[in-house]
Amino acid sequence: MADETIVNGVTSDFDDGTVENDKVLKRDHDLDLGKIEALEQEKSGLMRENRENNDKIRLLNDEIEEFKRNEAEVKVRLDKMQREIDESEEDKKSLQVIAARALELETEVSRLQHDLISSMSESEQTATELRKLKTEFEGLKQSTREKESKIEDLEREKISLLEQIEKKVEEVKKLKAENENYIRDLETREVKISERESEILELQTLKKEKENKKSSLEDALKQSVEKFKEMEAEVKRLKSELVKSEKMIIELKEKSLENETGNSKLLLPAAIASTGTVAAAAAVACYIAYARRR
């Protein structure tokens, strides 16, 4: 009974230690998996934000290019308007010359009218020419007013276009600044992603090391179990030999009791039996102690 208690105690301690090691390894493994999963999710989030920012930058670049094209078109229109204004200025100068000539003609007309009143005998041709000159003069005056109105409209349109260009330039500057901020933010995020990837690699390496350690412990556990089974078999063998020795001692006792030679012969087998029992028990205890140290 004492031998069975010793063997069962060794088995219980061994099993408890094995279960505890498995729990610790499983807990570490679960923690590593949780960290890796969290880092993978964070990495996916950063990459998604990176793609979104790239799309925004692409849109901003498209808008900037559109502003540049519009700016070029506006410049072309301004150049055209400037040419028209220059032409209008030339027309205005021509009209001024014509107006001066018309004034001279008007003076001439007045003089002619005076001459006409003074002399009713002048020809009908002079009156017709006078009417024609009057008509031309009114036409020139109307044309001058139209040219001046057109010049004013062109000037107003030019000012409006210049204001639009200034607004577009400010918008382009603002978009450019936002674009630069996005790029700096993306560079920062790329650095973070690189750091996270390095951390993931380290955790994966640590996980692999722990898995290798677990595998080594499992191999050692298997070897220990095999050694324990060998020890248990040896203990059983020793117990069997002990039982045989006890039976032999009992037989010797019985024979010694039946012997009528006297007490001296009876004491000798009893001493032999006690010595054999103690020796067998000592052998079992020594073997178990040796197995524990191993």
pLDDT along the chain (294 residues), means of 10: 42 53 68 71 74 73 71 70 68 66 67 61 64 78 80 82 82 81 82 81 85 85 86 88 88 79 46 47 50 49
Please count the residues of the chain. Answer: 294
Q: What is the pLDDT of residue 80?
A: 73
Q: Is the dihedral of CA 206, 208, 214, 217 positive or negative?
A: negative
Report the pLDDT value the prediction gives residue 16, as an integer from 0 to 100.
Answer: 57
DSSP assignment of 144-176, as one string?
Answer: HHHHHHHHHHHHHHHHHHHHHHHHHHHHHHHHH
Q: What is the pTM of this model?
A: 0.33
In 3D space, the residue among 104, 82, 108, 98 whose CA is nearest the CA of residue 145 turns out to be 98
Beta carbons within 8 Å of 189's beta carbon, 6+ residues apart: 46, 49, 50, 53
Distance between CA atoms of 29 and 212, rounded to whole angstroms?
12
Within a 10 A sphere around the Cβ of 88, how many other Cβ atoms? Answer: 19
Give me the pLDDT at residue 109, please: 60
Q: Which tokens belong to 35?
A: 């960290």
Residue 225: per-residue pLDDT: 85
Distant-in-sequence, close-in-space partners of 104: CB < 8 Å, separation ≥ 6: none
Give the separation between CA 110 and CA 107, rounded to whole angstroms: 5
Check residue 5 and give its pLDDT. Answer: 42
**Residue 268 phi/psi, 5° resolution?**
-65, -50
CA 47 to chain centre: 3
pLDDT of the residue at 11: 44
Q: Give the per-residue SS3 of 221-285.
A: HHHHHHHHHHHHHHHHHHHHHHHHHHHHHHHHHHHHHHCCCCHHHHHHHHHHHHHHHHHHHHHHH
Question: Can you give the pLDDT at residue 6?
Answer: 40
pLDDT number for residue 117: 62
pLDDT of residue 10: 41
Phi-psi map region of 262: left, alpha, beta (phi>0 left; psi -120 to 50 alpha): left
Measured between alpha carbons, how far is 58 from 163 in angstroms, rounded to an integer?
27
Q: Which two tokens stand for residue 203?
A: 């955790």
In this prediction, residue 4 carries a pLDDT of 42
